[in-house]
Amino acid sequence: MITLIKLAWRNLWRNKRRTLITVASVFVAVFLALLMRSVQRAMYDTALDNAVRLSTGHLQVHREGYWKDKTINKTMTIKDSTREKIAAIENVAVAAPRLESFALVSSGPQTKGAAVVGTDPEIENRLTNLREKVVEGSYLEPGGALVASGVAEYLKLGVGDTIVLLGQGYHGSTAAGAYPIVGVFEYPMKELNNSMIYLALDDAQYLYAAPRRLTSLTLMLDDGDDLEETREEVVATLGEGYETLPWQEMNRELVQFIRSDNVGGIIMLAILYVVVAFGVFGSIVMMTLERRKEFGVMVAVGLRKGKLATIVFFESIFVTFVGVVAGSVGAIPIFAYFSANPIPLTGEAASAYEAFGFPPAILFSLDPGLFLNQASVTAVIALVAAVYPAFVVMNLQAARAMRA
């Protein structure tokens, strides 16, 4: 086998120019494919991670029907013992109780609609790392409000100023309260950053006249891949009257957008790979046709056709493998640099990204799966391209080939 591999490798370099052109075409295609997929993957991952980490968590427990009709009247109560049981489930890292609703927030003549999240400050910090996102003042504490920088800017407020919240409370009561701003935080997602205000859970329950009531118990898991199993455990712990939704269901628009965008990416990839396949195939066909006589001689002197087919098979594999390795090796340092230093977007491009919930920057993913996928696809191309010479060899008649 080593001799056959050696022979295949040397055959590859008999026509250096042709081999290099083929390798270059594979290199360019793999590099471009990796570039496209790396940017897409990083964008998707970041958007989903932001959505899960900053907003929905992996799982949320609600009162049944809440997600379809998000009103304060569909809040729930959960016994402390049940919450503790859920928090103790092996894969549950954090179980954050939240009371979320809307309110008009005003300061002087300025008024704005805002999403108010009442939460346990310490548990929330474990869920969203909210403390790290504070850019001014201090972290959330009972009696105060932590305001997103977009809201603070709009209302021209800062730490120490007071905001007034006005909304509808539980069962039609009026929700009204004034809270000093203890800190201003900044989220990477513009939509969240322009609308969010955090209060301590007790303060929010008091504001909305909903003592001990929650809109959700938001769960962050240690391993998101085991989501379904964990969900089943949570459902079993809760009993009737609750709904436990996975993040995919709560971020349906984002997931659907990613799916459709991903299909576009796959179509582009397919076009790229068709071009590569033709390049490799053309090269292999030329290599095969111009060596028919040589193949005839090799079979004549006693080389089995199967072994000859193995040689040309390896040639096909090598020519694509060299291109894949070169493309991947070329891509890794560039992607690593831009992964650490994303290219920021400004203006309309940034707005368009933010409108879809994506961070306004070109990010790069270094997921090894991306590289393995490209290697697998090109390996398939090489295998398909190798069918033709293998077919020629297996149907070769030595005497006729030598007469050619």
Partner 1 sequence: MNVIETKDLKKVYDESAVAVTAVDGVSLSFEKGEFACLVGPSGCGKTTLLNMIGGLDEPTEGTAIVGDVDLSELSSRELVDFRLRNVGFVFQAYNLIPVFTARENVEFIMHMQGMPEKERKRRAEEVLTAVGLGDRLDARPSELSGGQQQRVAVARALAPKPKFIIADEPTANLDSKSTGALLDMMLEMNREEKITFLFSTHDRRVTERARRLVTLEDGKVAKDERR
The contact set with partner 1 (CB under 8 A) reads 3, 7, 10-11, 13-14, 293-294, 297-305, 307, 398-399, 402
Describe the chain by its helix, strand, coil percentages, rounded to 5. Answer: 60, 20, 20
- Interatomic CA distance for residues 233 and 91, integer angstroms: 10
Q: Which is nearer to partner 1, 259 or 293 (CB)?
A: 293
Cα separation, 38 vs 33, in Å, equals 8
Q: Which is nearer to partner 1, 280 or 401 (CB)?
A: 401
Tell me the two tokens of residue 143.
């009696």
Give the shortest CB-303-to-partner 1 separation in angstroms: 6
Tell me the two tokens of residue 138: 């201090």
Task: Give min distance, CB of 288 to partner 1, in A.
Answer: 16
Q: For partner 1, which is the closer residue by CB, 85 or 307?
A: 307
End-to-end CA distance of the chain: 29
Which residue's CB is nearer to partner 1, number 11 or number 50? 11
Cα separation values, 38 from 1, 27, 345, Å: 37, 16, 17
Instruction: Give least dist CB 388 to partner 1, A.
Output: 20
CB closer to partner 1, 14 vs 171: 14
Least distance between partner 1 and beta carbon 231 (Å):
59
Closest approach of Cβ 339 to partner 1, in Å? 42
Cβ(232)–Cβ(84) below 8 Å:
no
Q: Which residues contact 1 (CB under 8 A, 6 or more apart)?
A: 310
Asked whether the beta carbons of 342 and 39 are under 8 A apart, the reply is no
In the complex, minimum distance from the CB of residue 397 to partner 1, in angstroms, rounded to a whole number: 8
The values of phi and psi at residue 69, to 5°, are -140, 85
Q: What is the Cα–Cα distance from 104 to 164, expressed in whole angstroms?
A: 8
Cβ at position 295, least distance to partner 1 in Å? 11
* Shortest CB 308 distance to partner 1, Å: 10
Question: Which is closer to partner 1, CB of 13 or CB of 337?
Answer: 13
CA dist 302 and 378 (Å) reads 33
CB 280 within 8 A of CB 16: no
- Rg of the chain taking only CA atoms, in angstroms: 30
Based on CB atoms, which residue is closest to partner 1, 303 or 334?
A: 303
